[in-house]
């Protein structure tokens, strides 16, 4: 049965999308619940989808269904993904908020006010690249961006949009980002290889973004930047993890080195007490629990969908719509983009798209690093501009709490990096590759 094409087997995905998107829109825009999409348990909705998948698989016993799910969940890539998620959570928990602020204020202290906006992009990009979280970066840097806007006279939507763009740059490329981990492990690709492929797409978009930001912000700044105290030494663990990842060291060893370095640094300099250190580690790992559970549940659902012929049916449809390797690459980008629009979560979108994308890449002879790069990049493009995405909602919430009158539609024109990344990604697909 698993060799047949059966579109009905995709119904669990439709159930998930309908429930999550429907409840999210109702909470956010009808009931006006703050952060409506993120008050819905994605784990519970995936459990409902798993129940639907089990119900659809009628011709075998429940024990057989459990074996199918267990075999899919036991994939080494899934186990590796979860362990990296948890270690990344520990790393971020150890370093906390003050380290990222030190990066920001150190860099802002080096430049004239005219260059503050392009530098905000670079700061956000670096912090996100080091921490592996766009939402965390936005939470830390948006207050600094608002302070820069108020003290130097820049547009607040411009500053907020700039921070969001930089945060998505780092989220896309970071070695400890959950999107990178999910894409690389889902496709069986080394993180260093994915980074190299991704780098060719992201850097042109980032450079062009910085240039445009400079001209947009030229002559806007008419004040003095307010620089708070910072501890330059706190930047070192970020640099250690970043350098280790780029050099291709084992990600577990890189994260362990970063955790040890951060622990020694934060405790020895008195930046944190031992009790707070233990609490922060717990918070860091618990922040990854939902993402880890999503990876487990999605792998179980996908095992049943594959058994029932759902992925074969979807693959045959993609073959009809997209032809050749370039068509297959665009199919992967569109697939993860649509998943992200439906789920408003780029990690979930990648995890859901992974098995289908793997079949597409095998069929169209697309390399694992190209597939992983496309999954991560297109998910970040869409996530970076969603008015109901966590990145936008968190940025707006922080800005409004600081007394700023701001809406998503005022920020959207200044999300330059995601727009340029889309153009760069399409060029990456269609331009001839150097041999």
Choice between 141 and 88, residue whose per-residue pLDDT is larger: 141
What integer is the mean pLDDT of 410-435?
Answer: 87
Of 267, 294, 293, nearest to 281 (Cα)? Answer: 267
Choice between 34 and 424, residue whose per-residue pLDDT is larger: 424
- Tell me what pLDDT residue 1 has: 45
What integer is the mean pLDDT of 189-204?
Answer: 89
Is the pLDDT reported for residue 287 higher than 50?
Answer: yes
Residues ≥6 apart with Cβ < 8 Å to 138: 124, 163, 164, 167, 391, 394, 395, 398
Is the pLDDT reported for residue 136 higher than 80?
Answer: no
Choice between 394 and 66, residue whose per-residue pLDDT is larger: 66
Instruction: Report the alpha-carbon distance of residue 428 to residue 265 in Å, rounded.
Output: 41
C-alpha gyration radius of the chain: 22
Sign of CA dihedral 346, 352, 356, 361: positive
The domain segmentation of the chain, as residue ranges, is 7-430
Is the pLDDT reported for residue 95 higher than 50?
Answer: yes
pLDDT class of 48 with cuts at 50, 70, 90 = very high
What integer is the mean pLDDT of 299-315?
Answer: 81
Provide the 3-class DSSP secondary structure of residue 219. Answer: coil
Two structure tokens written together for 40: 């819905």
- Tell me what pLDDT residue 99 has: 63
Q: Residue 214, Cβ neighbours under 10 Å: how many? A: 15
The 10s digit of each residue's pLDDT in 200-239 is: 999 999 999 999 999 988 777 666 666 666 677 777 887 7
Least confident range from 56-65, 100-109, 205-214, 327-336: namely: 100-109
Instruction: Report the alpha-carbon distance of residue 397 to residue 399 in Å, rounded.
Output: 6
Q: Decide if 164 contacts 411 (C-beta within 8 A).
A: yes
Is the pLDDT reported for residue 244 higher than 70?
Answer: yes
Block residue for tokens 């918070």: 283
- Tell me what pLDDT residue 35 has: 62
- Tell me what pLDDT residue 206 has: 95
Instruction: Report the alpha-carbon distance of residue 118 to residue 217 in Å, rounded.
Output: 8
Q: Across all residues in the chain, what is the average pLDDT? A: 82
Distance of CA 301 to CAs 191, 244, 332, Å?
26, 35, 20
Is the pLDDT reported for residue 89 higher than 70?
Answer: yes
Of 339, 421, 417, 348, nearest to 167 (Cα)? Answer: 417
The packing angle between helices 251-268 and 236-246, to 10°, is 170
pLDDT > 70: percent of the chain: 90
Q: Decide if 257 contacts 240 (C-beta within 8 A).
A: yes
Q: Residue 80, Cβ neighbours under 10 Å: how many? A: 15
- Tell me what pLDDT residue 294 has: 76
Is the pLDDT reported for residue 3 higher than 60?
Answer: no
The 10s digit of each residue's pLDDT in 352-393 is: 788 888 888 988 889 999 999 999 999 999 988 887 677 887
Is the pLDDT reported for residue 64 higher than 70?
Answer: yes
Instruction: Report the alpha-carbon distance of residue 91 to residue 241 in Å, rounded.
Output: 10
Q: Decide if 64 contacts 308 (C-beta within 8 A).
A: no
The 10s digit of each residue's pLDDT in 339-349 is: 787 666 788 78
The 10s digit of each residue's pLDDT in 262-286 is: 888 888 888 788 898 888 888 878 8
The packing angle between helices 274-286 and 251-268, to 10°, is 150
Choice between 17 and 51, residue whose per-residue pLDDT is larger: 51
Two structure tokens written together for 408: 């998503």
Is the pLDDT reported for residue 250 higher than 80?
Answer: no
What integer is the mean pLDDT of 234-256?
Answer: 75
pLDDT class of 297 with cuts at 50, 70, 90 = confident
Provide the 3-class DSSP secondary structure of residue 416. Answer: helix
Of 314, 383, 309, nearest to 348 (Cα)? Answer: 383
Instruction: Report the alpha-carbon distance of residue 376 to residue 305 in Å, rounded.
Output: 23
Choice between 10 and 250, residue whose per-residue pLDDT is larger: 10
Of 153, 92, 61, 28, nearest to 281 (Cα)? Answer: 92
- Tell me what pLDDT residue 374 has: 94
**Residues 56-59: contacts with CB under 8 Å, at least 24 apart:** 56/8, 56/9, 56/11, 56/12, 56/304, 56/308, 57/304, 57/307, 57/308, 59/1
Block residue for tokens 């909470």: 27
- Tell me what pLDDT residue 245 has: 67
- Tell me what pLDDT residue 435 has: 47
């Amino acid at each position: 049965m698993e060799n047949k094409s059966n579109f009905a087997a995709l119904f669990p995905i439709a159930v998930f999308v309908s429930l999550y998107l429907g409840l999210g829109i109702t909470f956010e825009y009808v009931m006006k619940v703050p952060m409506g999409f993120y008050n819905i348990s994605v784990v519970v909705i995936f459990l409902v989808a798993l129940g639907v998948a089990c119900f659809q698989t009628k011709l075998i016993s429940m024990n057989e269904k459990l074996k199918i799910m267990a075999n899919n969940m036991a994939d080494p890539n899934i186990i590796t993904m979860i362990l990296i998620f948890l270690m990344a959570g520990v790393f971020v928990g150890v370093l906390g908020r003050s380290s990222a602020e030190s990066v920001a204020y150190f860099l802002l202290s080096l430049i004239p006010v005219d260059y503050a906006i392009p530098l905000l992009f670079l700061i956000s990009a670096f912090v996100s690249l080091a921490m592996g979280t766009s939402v965390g970066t936005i939470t830390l840097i948006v207050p600094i961006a608002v302070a820069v806007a108020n003290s130097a006279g820049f547009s607040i939507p411009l500053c907020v949009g700039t921070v969001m763009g930089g945060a998505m740059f780092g989220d896309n490329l970071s070695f400890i980002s959950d999107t990178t981990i999910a894409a690389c492990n889902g496709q069986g690709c080394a993180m260093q290889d994915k980074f190299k492929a991704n780098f060719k797409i992201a850097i042109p978009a980032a450079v062009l973004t910085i240039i445009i930001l400079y001209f947009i912000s030229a002559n806007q700044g008419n004040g003095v930047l307010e620089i708070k105290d910072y501890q330059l030494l706190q930047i070192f663990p970020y640099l250690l993890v970043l350098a280790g990842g780029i050099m291709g060291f084992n990600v577990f060893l890189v994260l362990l080195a970063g955790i040890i370095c951060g622990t020694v640094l934060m405790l020895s300099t008195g930046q944190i007490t031992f009790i707070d250190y233990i609490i922060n580690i717990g918070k860091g790992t618990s922040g990854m629990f939902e993402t880890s559970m999503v990876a487990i549940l999605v792998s179980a659902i996908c095992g049943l969908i594959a058994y029932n012929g759902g992925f074969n049916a979807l693959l045959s449809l993609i073959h009809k719509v997209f032809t050749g390797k370039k068509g297959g690459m665009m199919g992967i980008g569109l697939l993860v983009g649509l998943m992200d629009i439906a789920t408003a979560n780029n990690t979930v979108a990648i995890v859901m798209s992974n098995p289908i994308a793997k079949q597409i890449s095998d069929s169209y002879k697309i390399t694992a690093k190209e597939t992983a790069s496309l999954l991560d990049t297109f998910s970040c493009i869409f996530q970076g501009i969603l008015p109901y995405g966590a990145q936008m909602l968190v940025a707006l919430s922080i800005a409004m709490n600081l007394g700023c009158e701001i809406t998503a539609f005022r920020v959207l024109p200044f999300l330059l990096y995601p727009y340029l990344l889309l153009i760069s990604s399409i060029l990456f697909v269609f331009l001839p590759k150097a041999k």
